[in-house]
Amino acid sequence: MIKFKAGDKVKITAGKDKGREGKIEKVFPKESKALIPGINMYKKHVKGFQGQKGGIYDIPRALDFGKIALVCPKCKKVTRVGFKIVDSNKSRVCKKCKKEIDVK
Ligand SMILES: [Zn+2]
């Protein structure tokens, strides 16, 4: 089961951006990683070609699921994700407040 989805608010629990918060832009389920803009940035040197300017760009690198924790949209606490079956669909639930995360 995939714990995280694009649009989730997460807190960084390890690494150089520990303690910061961000919003997931993209999830890579096969690699168990998530891309969070502004988090885990690294410098990439790009050569100019075909009229494009070269230089050094800051690019976010996807973070391991193990280094992020979900911030529950209902209780606003950092939580772990559980699952339950609702109408034969698997739904994510907050382990702290037990509310369904994906229900708006
Ligand atoms: Zn909650």
Q: What is the mean pLDDT of residues 40-52?
A: 88
Compute, in angstroms, the gap from residue 21 CA to the centroid of ligand 1.
16
Tokens of 39: 């988090």
At 1 the pLDDT is 74
Average pLDDT, the chain: 92
Residue 50 vs residues 4, 57, 99: alpha-carbon distances, Å: 38, 18, 52
Compute, in angstroms, the gap from residue 73 CA to the centroid of ligand 1.
7
8 Å CB contact between 101 and 70: yes
Compute, in angstroms, the gap from residue 75 CA to the centroid of ligand 1.
4
Kindly report the pTM of this predicted structure.
Answer: 0.84
Could you tell me the pLDDT band of residue 24, with boundaries at 50, 70 and 90? very high
8 Å CB contact between 23 and 9: yes
At 104 the pLDDT is 61
Per DSSP, 104 falls in state -
Does 68 score more than 70 pLDDT?
yes
Compute, in angstroms, the gap from residue 14 CA to the centroid of ligand 1.
21
At 53 the pLDDT is 84
Tokens of 94: 């907050």
8 Å CB contact between 75 and 96: yes
